[in-house]
Amino acid sequence: KTKLAVFASGTGSNYDAIVEAIRTNQLDAELTILVCDNPNAKVIEKAKANGTPMFVFDPKQYVDKAMFETKIVEVLQEASVDLVILAGYMRLVGPTLLQHFEDRMINIHPSLLPAFPGLDAIGQAFDAGVKVSGVTIHFVDQGMDTGKIIAQEAVKIEENMTREALQQAIQKVEHHLYPQTIQQLISRGE
Ligand code: GAR
């Protein structure tokens, strides 16, 4: 089975969707480890409840990004990880980690890239008044949300839609598109 690592920094609703897809056999993979860069993240409680092994770290305890990414690489190699899934990992991946997992690391972003990269993509789309936004899944490269696009799905922004409603609509799409896209990559042998 393909061994996945999920990286998350916050709530972990995409982590949940991936766990659920594995449990219901919609995703033929094994979740070997959750990597979390925020010791206060909600996702940690979820992973504890599910029994997902975890590597939780505080970046402030390391001299620089190269140091904690070296540690992450060790952890991932130890777990024989095949594919790295960034799911709300709110940190730019550096060369140390990229070099080991190039073409084996994907990210989900809550906009139709290349529109609205970076932080608060949902707020950016809302403030811009666009009528369509959506979700993008892409390979990770050294840029900010710039890697090769694998999948996209549009979300219509209705008249009078609140920011919260838009966020809900986008997350709903994320929760089916991410497991489905991961499964397609696995089936294609990537
Ligand atoms: C998701 O909406 C994801 O697309 C976004 O963070 C959220 C994490 O939610 N990622 C980015 O903005 C990356 N630039 P979750 O913790 O509930 O899965």
Per-residue pLDDT of the chain (190 residues; tens, 9 = 90+): 999 999 999 999 999 999 999 999 999 999 999 999 999 999 999 999 999 999 999 999 999 999 999 999 999 999 999 999 999 999 999 999 999 998 999 999 999 999 999 999 999 999 999 999 999 999 999 999 999 999 999 999 999 999 999 999 999 999 999 999 999 999 998 5
Instruction: Tell me which residue has its CA closest to atom 2 in ligand 1.
Output: 110
Check: complex ipTM more than 0.95:
yes
The pTM score is 0.97
CB atoms within 10 A of CB 71: 13
The length of the chain is 190
109 is catalytic: yes
Ligand 1 binding pocket (C-beta < 6 A) is 8, 10-14, 87-88, 108-110, 121, 145, 171, 174
What does the pLDDT read at residue 8? 98
Residues in Cβ contact with 166 at an 8 Å cutoff, skipping those fewer than 6 apart: 122, 125, 126, 133, 155, 157
**Separation of alpha carbons 168 and 72, rounded Å:** 31
Residue 78's alpha-carbon distances to 33, 37, 53, 71, 107, in angstroms, are 10, 18, 12, 11, 22
Q: Which atom of ligand 1 has the smallest separation from the CA of 118?
A: 14
Residue 149's alpha-carbon distances to 31, 50, 139, in angstroms, are 23, 31, 6
What does the pLDDT read at residue 190? 58
Q: Which of 47, 30, 37 is nearest to 67 (CA)?
A: 37
